[in-house]
C-alpha cells in the first residue's frame, strides 16, 4: 500500500510549492495609458470702464458630467480682478476637452449697478473660439450653457 502514501506525499509537495512565494515572478505594475493630449486654452477679460469684475473660469477637465453637475464650483474657480480698457485679465490653462469644458464668465459684483461693458475672449491652441461682451457681463464658452 505504498501508492496512497506516495500520492499523499506528492500532493503535499505540490501544495507546498504552489503556496511558497519564493521563485514566483511578480508582474511589474503597468502605468495607465496616457490620456488625450492637453490643449492650450487662453481666457482674456477686460472692460471699457475700470471695474473689479467677478470672473469664473475652468482650468481643469471634470472627470465626467455627473461629477461636474454635483459640484460645479469645484471645477470653476472664482477670482476678483481689476479690469479696464488697458488692463486685461489673462489666464492660460490646459484642457483635454476644451470643446466641452472651456469657459470663462465675467460679471458684476453683487448689488452693483455699474455698466462697465465687460468683454471676454476664449482661444484654443492660439485660435479665437469665442468672444462676447455685455454691459454687465460676458460668457465665453465653446459649448452652449
pLDDT at 132: 98
Q: What share of the chain in percent tops pLDDT 70?
A: 81
Q: What is the mean pLDDT of residues 97-122?
A: 94
Q: Do 75 and 58 contact (CB within 8 A), yes or no?
A: yes
pLDDT of 133 above 80: yes
Q: Where are the domains of the chain?
A: 46-141
Distant-in-sequence, close-in-space partners of 129: CB < 8 Å, separation ≥ 6? 98, 102, 122, 123, 142
Confidence of residue 87 (pLDDT cuts 50, 70, 90): very high
- The pLDDT-based confidence of 107 (bands split at 50, 70, 90) is very high
Predicted local confidence at residue 14, as pLDDT: 47
3-state secondary structure 35-99: CCCCEEEEEEEEECCCEEEEEEECCCCCCCHHHHHHCHHHCCCEEEEEEECCECEEEEEEECCHH
**What is residue 12's predicted lDDT score, i.e. its pLDDT?**
47
Backbone angles phi, psi at 45, to 5 degrees: -130, 140
pTM higher than 0.85: no
Per-residue pLDDT at 34: 79
Average per-residue pLDDT for the chain: 86
Strands 118-124 and 78-83: unpaired
Closest CA to 63 of 87, 17, 97: 97
What mean pLDDT do residues 81-89 have? Answer: 97
pLDDT band at 23 (very low <50, low <70, confident <90, very high): low
Positive or negative: CA dihedral 68, 74, 75, 76:
positive
CA 121 to chain centroid = 19
Amino acid at each position: 500500500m505504498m501508492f496512497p502514501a506516495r500520492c499523499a506525499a506528492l500532493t503535499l509537495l505540490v501544495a507546498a510549492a504552489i503556496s511558497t512565494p519564493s521563485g514566483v515572478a511578480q508582474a511589474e505594475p503597468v502605468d495607465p495609458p496616457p490620456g488625450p493630449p492637453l490643449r492650450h486654452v487662453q481666457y482674456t477679460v477686460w472692460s471699457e470702464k475700470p471695474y473689479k469684475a467677478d470672473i469664473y473660469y475652468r482650468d481643469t477637465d471634470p472627470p465626467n458630467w455627473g461629477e461636474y453637475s454635483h459640484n460645479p464650483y469645484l471645477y470653476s474657480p472664482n477670482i476678483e480682478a481689476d479690469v479696464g480698457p488697458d488692463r486685461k485679465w489673462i489666464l492660460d490653462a490646459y484642457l483635454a476637452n476644451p470643446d466641452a469644458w472651456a469657459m470663462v464668465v465675467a460679471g458684476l459684483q453683487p448689488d452693483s449697478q455699474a455698466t462697465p461693458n465687460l468683454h471676454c475672449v476664449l482661444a484654443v491652441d492660439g485660435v479665437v473660439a469665442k468672444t462676447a461682451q455685455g454691459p454687465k457681463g460676458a460668457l465665453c464658452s465653446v459649448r452652449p450653457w
